[in-house]
Chains A and B, each alone.
Chain A
Amino acid sequence: MSKLFISPSPHVYEDTTVKRLMFDVVIALLPALLFSVYFFGMGAIIVTLTAVVSCLAFEWLIQKYILKEEPSITDGSALVTGILLAFNVPTNLPIGIIIIGSLVAIGVGKMSFGGLGNNPFNPALVGRVFLLISFPVQMTSWPVPTGFSNSYTDAVTGATPLGVMKEGISAGEPVSAIMDKIPGHMELFYGHMGGSMGEIAALALLLGLGYMLFRKVIKIHIPLSIFLTIGVFTGILWLVNPESNADPIFHLLTGGVMLGAIFMATDYVTSPMSVKGMWIFGIGIGIITVAIRVFGAYPEGISFAILIMNAFVPLINMYVKPKRFGEEVKNG
């Protein structure tokens, strides 16, 4: 017999590991990736590969040569960041810009705070917002989805439905007229529209949500609270004046709401710990998103909304505590 091991209890462990959780997220992202490849063709593949490889490479380089620690790229978190970054950019984005975005996402968004688990902001969104501000033209020339045969950079570009809507409303056109210029709700649902690579297919993203819930990777609270808030908020606006506000279904299906609510806002590291906190976080994201969409200068605001609410997470964690057992005595 060899030496006995001694450790404090417990002595058994669940087989969940950080790696497994991350790869479950990757699996959940696959349907959306397939839809994007179907709609955007080669561009989607090139953008995803570039983002993933550069994210992994930057993480490895930073850990190895700057932080001088054991590289931990196999844990899958950089892979998730890479895919999410790719999902958040148009498929005709030049490779150089994607690499810059990856550097910002991993270097600034994640490693500068101490690596996995220590970053206050979602790294992929930090990268995306950095690119949006630095390269507004490239970042907002969305390719029109036509089919797989498309080549990479010379794709036909057009505006997103949200962009069309914003332009139309500010030009004073009635919503019903604008609606004729953009795809119907059913088409929006399965993603036949222009936009960032991974945000278009609500159907695929919802499939991913279902998978993650099934595998207990995330809880429903954050996506649900975001959907409800956006639905209610835009619903009220729509009921008040249907001719100058789009309907709630349109708001939920377009832009990055699905991608943001399901994959970006639920990022463990940057979301609150308690269920109550998750609701506050989700409602905050919903309100800020709609505010930016309806009243702001950008047609889409969920990236900013998530980043803003990320900043509130430590505060939420500090003040919103789960109810403790035996805290209020109620004998029944």
Chain B
Amino acid sequence: MSATILFTIISLSAIGATAAIILYFVAQKFKVYEDPRIDQVDEILPAANCGGCGYPGCRGFAEAMVKADDLSPFYCPVGGNETMAQVAEVLGKAVEAKDPQVAVVRCSGSPAHRERINSYDGASSCAISSSLYSGETGCQFGCLGLGDCVDVCDFDAIYMDEETGLPVVIDDNCTACGACVKACPNVIIELRKKNKKDRKIFVSCVNHDKGGVAKKACKVACIGCSKCVKVCPFDAITMDNFCAFIDANKCKLCRKCVAECPTNAILEINFPPKKVRTETPEKPKVEASKPVRTSAEKAGTIGEAKPEETPARPTGENKNETK
């Protein structure tokens, strides 16, 4: 009896010891040297693995940064300047602060403004719809409304508004990783500089049709009239192929163009409404009765995660102190 037990214990221990020795040597032989700084940098990164930096996941990004001599081409859109500063500290390199950005949806073609002339019945994907035809409306440039941008967002920062059928960016969640920009087949989403209190002024239209054609398809299309270009005191607006574009870096948020636009294609977001009224009381399109036009529901971008809980709109004393 005891012999059996003894035999079992000895033989199993022997097998275990042999295996341990083999494992030790194998581990030694196949050891891969890895720069310990990669782990350190990886720790700092937000571990979102969104690919917004252009590398396959956070670890790939960390490896690339450790190898690189200069950090200027690298930027983690999720962690922002804070993270990059920490990384620079670990690696002993310098890094310049970059302006934080936010995704902006440049289309206001809700059913009210843009008539649906047919109905799409295929798989629910913008990429498939756009490979098939120009979309449910007469506008072949705008939002297709099937939510590919929502599907790719890793941060719950974008959702489809059921009423307008347009995606809405939640500024506080948006990290500007750019996934939605890449997913949108019509490239209507743009990363723009983030301003104080999430204020923004942009042309919410990307169509390149001539004015008449554009207007027929969508009431709030940019018709390429160039009024905004003329009124802009900072030369921030350019006209390209019948569509205006406001350079966020040059724009000083003066809102002159908003008042000038005949189709309401230029949107102002998160501005106090009172001022709008006093500044341009005679302009019919920014009437007090329709402040909705400039607010979250209509626009496509809002400053609060839950729009229905926000009072009328974020005002000066809003807690929205993102930057």
Tell me if B10 is interfacial: C-beta within 8 Å of chain A: no
> Scoring A residues 1 to 40 as 1 if CB is less than 8 Å from chain B, else 0, what string do you get?
0011111100000000000000000000000000000000
The smallest C-beta distance from B129 to any residue of chain A, in angstroms, reads: 8
Let me know if A5 and B132 touch, CB within 8 A.
Answer: no
Residues of B within 8 A of A8 (CB): 122-123, 128, 132
A4 to B136, CA, bound (A): 10
Shortest beta-carbon distance from B120 to chain A in Å: 5
Q: Scan residues 187-231 of chain A and give those whose CB is less than 8 A from a CB of chain B.
A: none
Distance of A6 Cα from B128 Cα, bound (Å): 12
A-B contact count (CB 8 A): 26
Please report the total number of B residues contacting A with Cβ < 8 Å.
12
- Does B121 lie at the interface of the complex (its beta carbon under 8 Å from any beta carbon of A)? yes
Q: Is the CB of A6 within 8 A of B117?
A: no
Check A6 against B116 for contact (C-beta < 8 Å).
Answer: no
Most buried by B among A3, A4, A6, A7: A6
Asked if A5 and B123 sit within 8 Å, CB to CB, the answer is no
Cα A225 to Cα B117 in complex, Å, equals: 55
Chain B residues contacting A5 (CB-CB under 8 Å) are 118-121
Contact B120 A7 (CB under 8 A): yes
B124 to chain A, nearest CB (A): 11
Encode contact with A along B281-294: 1 for CB under 8 Å, 0 otherwise.
00000000000000
Residues in A neighbouring B24, C-beta threshold 8 A? none
Give the interface centre of B116, B118, B123 by most chain A CB atoms within 10 Å: B118
Inter-chain contact A4/B132, CB cutoff 8 Å: no
Nearest CB in chain B to that of A4: its residue: B118
Q: Is the CB of A3 within 8 A of B117?
A: yes
B30 within 8 A of A: no
Residue B133 at the chain A interface, CB threshold 8 Å: yes
Which of B's residues lie within 8 Å of A, judged by CB?
116-123, 128, 132-133, 136
The 9 A-B pairs at the shortest CB distance, nearest first, are namely A7-B122, A7-B121, A4-B118, A5-B121, A8-B122, A3-B119, A3-B118, A6-B120, A6-B118
- List 16 interface pairs A-B (beta carbons < 8 Å), by A numbering: A3-B117, A3-B118, A5-B118, A5-B120, A5-B121, A6-B118, A6-B119, A6-B121, A6-B122, A6-B136, A7-B120, A7-B121, A7-B122, A8-B122, A8-B123, A8-B132
